[in-house]
Structure formats: structure tokens, C-alpha cells
Amino acid sequence: MNLSWMAWTTPTAIFFITIVSLLLLMSLWEAIKPGGGPRVGILRIETTRGDRLFLSLLGSAFIHLAWLGLVGPNLWWALGVSVFYALLVFRFV
């Protein structure tokens, strides 16, 4: 298969591998401990594990875009902020 039309750089591969890994881990978590019933957090809406994962990924995308625009291309600190944000989302949302 010829994939030369896309810029498959190492960061691009890591990004897609991370997303697939998160989805697989969430599926495994659901298989091991089913349910994970909805709960109401600080947003005052019912969220499930999948909702919280989606909010974490969406927020992380905005954190990285803001970092690129305001700070520059060194994204390691943005990654740390995103992981911390995801932990907060899974804990409080």
C-alpha cells in the first residue's frame, strides 16, 4: 500500500498509535469492569467513561493548538498539561 501522499512522520505515528491505544484500553476497561455508570460532575451533566475520554482528547487538542500559537513548537510541556487536564476530567467531570 502506497502511503506516500501523507506526511507519516514519527510524531504523526505516535499520535495515531496513542489514540488507538486509548480506545483499546477503554474497551479493555469496559470488558473487565462493565458499566461505569453515568455520573454527574462539576459540569452538571451525566458523563460516562467514553464522554470523559472524548472531553479529554478534545481539550488536549485545544491545549496543544493554544500552545503552538502562544509558546511555540516545543510541545512537551503541552503534553504534560494535557495529561494533567485529562486526570482532572476523569476525576471531576
For the chain, which residues make up each domain, given as ranges?
Answer: 10-92
Over residues 35-85, the pLDDT tens digits come to: 778 899 998 999 988 899 999 999 999 999 999 999 998 888 999 999 999
Distance CA 82, CA 69 (A): 16
Three-state SS for 41? coil
Q: What is the pTM of this model?
A: 0.80
Distance CA 59, CA 89 (A): 9
Dihedral angle over CA of 23, 24, 25, 27, nearest 10: 90
